[in-house]
Structure 1
Amino acid sequence: MSELPDPLAWLDSASGHRRAAGLHRVLSPRQPNDGIIDLASNDYLGLSRHPEVIAGAKRSLDLWGPGSTGSRLVTGTTAEHLQLEEELADFTGAPSALVFSSGYMANIAAVTALSNQDTLIVSDSASHASLVDACRLSRGRVAVVEHCNLSAVRAALEERDEEHALVVTDSVFSADGDLAPLRGLHAVCREMDAVLIVDEAHGIGVRGEGGRGLVHESGLAGEPDIVITMTLSKALGSQGGAVVADDRIREHLINTARTFIFDTGLSPAAVGAARAALHVLKREPERPHAVLDHAAVLAEAADVAGKPESAVVSVVLGDAATAVAAAQRCLEEGVRVGCFRPPSVPPGTSRLRLTARADLTENELTAVTQVLRRVAGDAA
């Protein structure tokens, strides 16, 4: 009897190639209170375990239950969703905000709902995967340009035949932690009649006055031709995302964005946690300064040149296997670090990705410094 064909046999081959290239990934659950110093999470302000943030989540859980029970247009909008949106808009200096179930969904919504077949979308080559996927899902033509190259953005816009244009970028790039030239990008967009979409996922809570983000720091808050997307799951220690923009854009997204219309609303507990985190940040505006101070300590310990501009410190090691081994050694010595390999970063640039937190203690920084000096020195 002949063997039945296996339509999934190609998966074995793909898995083998990943393993040979050092790109195989597994899920590694962390344990509560495991004593490991965390330099891998995006909990930049140290708010995910803050008592007030946990209490905020519990209050909303007790009031509304664990789920939002439906899409935002049916039963998924509570009074707290609207309150959070008002608070996010006020915090960032924008007219309005709209909350989504994740930052990924917010990016998909902003790009796809603001584009059509007659739209050119100019994307920075280092834009986050969620922006990349949003561009792919859009019906417009996409031009990917050299990282942070204003001349390339201008050239792409000058050559367009489309009536509409979007320029999309991270404010703080997630792999290297460098900053987008937002004032220059906005000037080009305004001159060329384009809308600028800025993903502030790694900017909120770290850059700008009191952590209001790089758009605010650049003096561009509230500009009608800038759309901010953000996540609630990094500096605010909760879950979810938001689009912060002109009132007309909010109304348009409510009526046209598929990731808003057809997705279940953000859970009430996440809304309550995000609101509480925002209140802590407003009361303690020094937290973003602590993030940058601690990032500088990490950079020096890992022998990374230059002063960090964000919470992210990138230690490029090159080979994927070398980066994996270095990350494992850090963990064995009590420090959890991120390990970025292709496709998260270009081939040959695998790295340790260290993320600073505002709540790192002096003892933790001392311990981390010792580990990083040993591991980074041996891996170099």
Structure 2
Amino acid sequence: MRLASIVVLFALGAFTLVECQQDAAQECDPEACQLPTCRCSSTDIPGGLDKRNTPQFVILTFDDAVNSQNLETYRSTIYNRRNKLNNCPIGTTFFVSHEYTEYNGVNELYNQGFEIALHSITHVSNQTYWREASTETLMKEFSDQKSQMAHFANIPINRINGVRSPFLQMAGNATFEMMAEANLRYDLSWPTMAHRDPGLWPYTLHYQSIQDCFIPSCPTASIPGPWVLPIITWQDLEGVACSFVDACFYRPNLDDEDGWFRFILMNFERHYNNNRAPFGFYVHEWFISRNVAVHRAFIRFLDMLNNLNDVFMVNANDVIDWVQNPVPIDEYVRQPCRVNPPSPCRLANCGPLEGQHNSVSYYMRVCNRCPRNYPWLDNPLGL
């Protein structure tokens, strides 16, 4: 048995011990759970559409801080691309962590039409911290970050809808209780191996989820409101699951462009040729920029998507929009393109600012007045 399988079995055992102590939500009743506000966890295509009439959504995400270096990759790779059939700009979702982020760059990405989402203020590298976090702690990490992001990047707070937990480590019910309280729309942290062929479509937590949980703790209670956008895991070359592209273990050589293109295509076709569940390309920018052959294969894949009449690269939040009101491709392409209301950036270079949590001196670039202290937990605006 591979080490990865042993780890998964251990995690599943831990999940059973932790979650069986909590009250579970009831089994989903499809008659009571109806769109647009409720959807059972299911691999069924929303709206009862057949595959040939269902848009294949592709969700590209990047995680962690936004800075001048990775902005160069984004500018050269995804700026000015459009979906072929409706001529709308492609989407990309950025799950931004606070430390070392340059907020003028966040403003730039927003004004390009991309989605800005939350990845926590601290991004603490202690997985136990995230697994055992209370709703109150998560409110400080994510709800306060929502206000922080809107303030320093000068973007509308109501355009910030998504959450990804660091290391994909949720805190079970507390994660979604925080989201409901903070008016956050969807989470994109929960991987599935059991429901990838066919893939699991987004759903709500009004009722019990059928999704497997191999990074416990996962939610078990009825929590109306937030949506789960499942991470449908890739399979590496040995069939082992990987949630992020850069986390795949048995993968092509990093200098093998053709091998990487075939690897990406193999995982995409599992969605495209099945129930068209959204295909996720979840990656960290450094993996693309440091590996030239991977970057070239990635560009080839994006170019290929532009030649398909039923594939749309969209922001993650756009997928939830469609699931709430599922329409066939011929109707979808007639809908107006997504537009972010433009938001200016009056750049301010700030620093040195002392981090009151660690006494380190930080520098910031913001689209607002400079804070007096380095913003952090319990003081997200640096007052």
The alignment's TM-score, normalised by the length of structure 1, stands at 0.30
The structure with the larger Rg is 1
By percentage of residues, which structure has more helix? Answer: 1
